[in-house]
Amino acid sequence: MTQTRAPRELRVFGLICSLAFAFPGLYLIWRNFTSGADPLGLLLANETLEPFWRTVRLAVLVSLSAAGLGTALAWCTTRTDLPFRRLWRVLLPIPLVFPTFIGAAAFIRTLNPGGLANDMFGSIGINETPELRGLFGAWFVLTLFCYPYVYLPVAARLRQLPGSFEQSALILGDSAPQAFRRIVLRQISGSLTAGTLLVFLYTISDFGAVQLMRYDTLTRAIESNYLARPPMAFALSLILLIFAGLVVLAERSVSRRLPEVKSRRASQPMTYMLGRWKAAATALVGATLVFAVLAPTAALVDWAADGLLRTQRGGRPLTIDPSKVIEAATNTLSSSVVTGFVAIMAVTPIAFLVGRYRDRIGRMTHSVVIATFAVPGILIALSLRFWTIRSGFFGDLLYDSMALLIFAYVVRFASLAMGTALVAVKTVPDGLHDAASTLGADRWRRFRSVDLPVMRPGLLAAGGLVILSTMKELPISLIVAPIGFPTLTTRIFGSFEDAFVAEAGIMAVVLVCLSALLSWFLVLRRADHL
Amino acid sequence: MLNRLLPLLITFTLVAAACGGSDQLQIDGLAAEINPEECVDGSGKEVTIYSGRTENLIEPVLEAFACATGISVQVRWGSSTQLALLIDEEGKRSPADVFLSRSPGPVGFLESKGLLGTIDDSVLNLVGEENRSAEGSWIGFSGRKRVLVHNIDLVPDAELPSSVFDLTEEKWRGKVAIPGTNGSFVDWFTVFRDQYGTDVAAQWLNDMVDNDARYYPNNRSIVEAAGRGEIEMGLVNHYYNYQEVAAAGDEHRARNHDLDDNDIGSLLIITAATVLDSAENSEAANELLAYLLTGPVQSYFTNRTFEYPLAAGVQPNAALPKLSALEIGSVDFDALGGGFEETAKIIEASGIQNQ
């Protein structure tokens, strides 16, 4: 690896980014001081430790299962002759888009006792339905919501890796599983750990799913103390954030020891013939989609259809009309796509600082960006309000602007793109770079003609993660968006809160369709042409 | 990708713009039902609302208000708790003039921070003394009653209890759902403490936990679970079951049960309106509050959203459980002071959230 010093502009950019991303953390620290919170005293109290350990237990379990499931799905859909691969690739990222407050409720509606599945199987005489709740329920639902954090980056990596090592291993007598363990797993380890870290951080910050599954974690303790005992809410949030920071550092020390695998876009990946395993692989992908996409969507469609039928029969009219849905869908689509682009532009330079130049500022920024993913959205929203209201002219300018909303979304979700972008930077072969600079290409030209083509699949996967996640974001969309900027998620929330399930169902179905459309753009129109 | 998406975005935007209205304000549907008159010309006045009451319920009222008064209305929709936190964070520079809350808790929070202004006397006098703050800092504009929702296939009518104190009996072991950490439950429990003393209230909650009461995060999820038969019954606000029945009809197998008139389990909890201390448009804000308490709006609340009216002599919709004496305003809510903090501690200590 060429160890040149990072260009100064890049380091300045990194510094600015780390400050921008540190806003929520600094706000939390400030609030801990001003509210007289006592995070140290709380650290060892029972009311902290019990939910804390529950949080950790859940996060570890979800991380393990999402890592396994995501990797298996990625391998099956990119490296095998599985039928309908393109269809699966469009559908598999969709669970990312369910806001957990309605997604988990939809799971319950479909799968719990007396639910849709119960009705269906009851008619053929099966009446035993387990109740999704507690640790099992939270683990089950979050695994299904979170596997795309692993699936997307790993699939992007697998599509791009050279098959030559695997072929050699197979020729030398390794079985396919051996080749997978010895070659492929090493090659994808960077993407895998980055994705799993996101699953872990998402799980510790989730509130919607755990509360509906009635599994009492730190976020519940934070949520129910915001008004009653603000110091406690701030202290617990700080504990959560510091814990997230430690996890990020731990991941980095692991991933630093991982091998780096270079690739070129020309290389041809392996395709395995599944043979008699075809049925099993199809069952895995099919079952995942049945549970992760079909189960919640069934409840949403049921709610929506009931409402539409009711209006036809002259019951209570719907409180939404097509123009409201289109307005919200347009806002959702435009804000999330812009966020995706800005996030990629923000993290790519940081990835260069860390991956290519091993720069200290880059490493710091990288950690700050990723740890921020564990900060609950409401705190990011409040911190931005806090800072803009105190920064005079500049704050007035930004107040209630789209720019501030996009900035907040980027702070919340750029972490999703960070790990994948870093892997993408590390894949670019040094030889190519050296050759290009010997031939006199300047830095920008090298970036465009050498780096970008190799990095593109990774960056697209990263952008997809950010876009789909932004589409479902709730607290920032409510608190930071300019007044009169409804998104699908805010309207779903408003309807669902007061049990307008038909309206919520209709808009959630629109949200799922939009995400499928975006996924189709990302997967079929681009990535496969690489 | 942008070059492919852009045309799509532009089309969407154009369609949305085409669906948007013209300059002359026109209203239809429920809003026109509230205000059937022609809209008056814009007065140039405006009011900014942070609303914890949701769009589906309140927007027709705000449209009718804009139409009737010519005051332009800006709304930030959200959850009452988060909006209260936002107002606290924005402080004096908050653009909000009015805060509408689903329940009293967030109002109490803002009051304790000194962020609430005083509502005009002429507005305050529109409701009974029990439904407004003695200091004039908040006013109720509709009510939701606590009831026991129950699955009609699992719990026969004849066996239904008459008091929340009955629910600690062995007979109901593992059969009662409690939204332990939900705002409206916390408010209710705070009044419970005020009426019966902290010891009695805390003892009741601990007994409920011992009796395997089941924790659910909110009213909606309890009503939904009771409809499926996952839980026999639960302590909730009356409102949600009406929406579920309106949506699913007889397929929804849960109904409200009205506990005894004098039982704390029959409490009426108000939704509250406030004018912020920092309001720049306090005149328009007071006009809005007064409008919420007019006959047509109060009728809308009870006949269209199934809530209890509080003003203008409007009678509750006949389908609602009979209203008894116990209303939240009849308790000195202001005097509870640190009530919510203490309530949060007691609820946390009971362990209900792990049931």
Name the pLDDT band for A530 (thresholds 50, 70, 90). Answer: very low
| Contact state of B1 with A525 under an 8 Å Cβ cutoff | yes
Question: With 60 as the cut, is the pLDDT of residue A352 above it?
Answer: yes
Strands B268-275, B176-178: parallel, antiparallel or unpaired by DSSP?
unpaired
Question: With 90 as the cut, is the pLDDT of residue B4 above it?
Answer: no
3 state SS of B95: coil
What value does the mean pLDDT of chain B take?
A: 87
Report pLDDT digits (tens) over A316-338. 788 888 899 999 999 999 999 99
Closest Cβ–Cβ partner in B19, B90, B344 for A323: B19
Report pLDDT for B61.
96
Chain A residues touching B243 at Cβ < 8 A? 498-501
Residues A136/A52, Cβ–Cβ less than 8 Å: no
Say which residue the tokens 């009044």 belong to: B191
Q: Which tops the pLDDT comparison, A57 or A124? A: A57
What value does the mean pLDDT of chain A take?
A: 86
Instruction: Find the mean pLDDT for residues B243-247.
Output: 82
The Cα A230–Cα A224 span in angstroms is: 10
Name the pLDDT band for A278 (thresholds 50, 70, 90). Answer: confident
| Residue B95 in contact with partner chain A when CB distance is under 8 A | yes
A window 267-326, beta carbon within 8 A of B: 303, 306-307, 310, 315-317, 319-320, 322-323, 326
Report pLDDT for B332.
57
3 state SS of A80: strand
Report pLDDT digits (tens) over B53-83. 999 899 999 999 999 999 999 999 999 999 9
Report pLDDT digits (tens) over B165-183. 999 999 999 999 999 888 8
**DSSP readout, A125-188?**
T--------HHHHHHHHHHHHHHHHHHHHHHHHHHHS-SHHHHHHHHTT--HHHHIIIIIHHHH
Report pLDDT digits (tens) over B153-166. 999 989 999 999 99
Residues B51/B100, Cβ–Cβ less than 8 Å: yes
How distant is the Cα of B298 from the closest Cα of chain A, in angstroms? 18
The Cα A463–Cα A521 span in angstroms is: 12
3 state SS of B143: strand
B window 4-23, beta carbon within 8 A of A: 4-5, 8-9, 12-13, 15-16, 19-20
Q: How many Cβ pairs within 8 Å bridge chains A and B? A: 183
Question: With 90 as the cut, is the pLDDT of residue A390 above it?
Answer: no
| Contact state of B54 with A47 under an 8 Å Cβ cutoff | no
Report the residue of chain B nearest A524, measured CA to CA: B1
A window 473-502, beta carbon within 8 A of B: 475, 478-479, 483-484, 486, 490-491, 493-502
Closest Cβ–Cβ partner in A310, A333, A503 for B56: A503
Closest Cβ–Cβ partner in B82, B220, B340 for A378: B82
| Contact state of A212 with B221 under an 8 Å Cβ cutoff | yes
**DSSP readout, A417-464?**
HHHHHHHHHHHS-HHHHHHHHHTT--HHHHIIIIIHHHHHHHHHHHHH
Q: Which tops the pLDDT comparison, A498 or A200? A: A200
Alpha helix ranges (H) inside B211-308 = 219-228, 239-248, 282-292, 295-304
Alpha helix ranges (H) inside A270-321 = 278-289, 295-312
Instruction: Find the mean pLDDT for residues A90-97.
Output: 91
Question: With 80 as the cut, is the pLDDT of residue A167 above it?
Answer: no
Closest Cβ–Cβ partner in A105, A118, A226 for B221: A105
Least confident of A191-200, A432-441, B259-268: A432-441
Instruction: Find the mean pLDDT for residues A100-106.
Output: 89
The model's pTM is 0.90
Question: With 90 as the cut, is the pLDDT of residue A388 above it?
Answer: no
Beta bridge partners of B75: B49
Q: Which tops the pLDDT comparison, A266 or B294? A: B294
What's the token pair of residue A172? 């030398």
Chain A residues touching B345 at Cβ < 8 A? 229
* Amino acid at site A185: L
- What's the ipTM? 0.90
Beta bridge partners of B143: B270, B308
| Residue A450 in contact with partner chain B when CB distance is under 8 A | no
* Amino acid at site A496: F
Strands B139-151, B233-237: parallel, antiparallel or unpaired by DSSP?
antiparallel
Closest Cβ–Cβ partner in A112, A385, A499 for B228: A112
Distance of CA B37 to the CA centre of its chain: 29
Question: With 50 as the cut, is the pLDDT of residue A486 above it?
Answer: yes
Angle at B19 between CA B18 and CA B24, to 5 degrees: 90
SS3 per-residue string spanning A199-215: HHHHHHHCCHHHHHCCC
Chain A residues touching B306 at Cβ < 8 A? none
Closest Cβ–Cβ partner in A334, A486, A500 for B56: A500
Question: With 60 as the cut, is the pLDDT of residue A265 above it?
Answer: no
Report pLDDT for B337.
52
Question: With 60 as the cut, is the pLDDT of residue B333 above it?
Answer: no
3 state SS of B176: strand
Cα-based distances in Å from B305 to A468, B144, B214: 34, 10, 28
Instruction: Find the mean pLDDT for residues B237-255.
Output: 86
Q: Which tops the pLDDT comparison, B12 or B46? A: B46
Of B123, B276, B109, nearest to B183 by C-alpha is B109
What's the token pair of residue B34? 């509230």
Report pLDDT for A162.
74
| Residue B186 in contact with partner chain A when CB distance is under 8 A | yes
| Residue B229 in contact with partner chain A when CB distance is under 8 A | yes
Closest Cβ–Cβ partner in B29, B54, B74 for A494: B54
Report pLDDT digits (tens) over A281-293. 999 999 999 999 9
B window 234-293, beta carbon within 8 A of A: 239-240, 243-244, 246-249
The Cα A207–Cα A205 span in angstroms is: 6
A window 13-52, beta carbon within 8 A of B: 47
Instruction: Find the mean pLDDT for residues A141-162.
Output: 89
What's the token pair of residue B14? 């154009």
Sign of CA dihedral A481, A486, A489, A495: positive
Question: With 60 as the cut, is the pLDDT of residue A186 above it?
Answer: yes
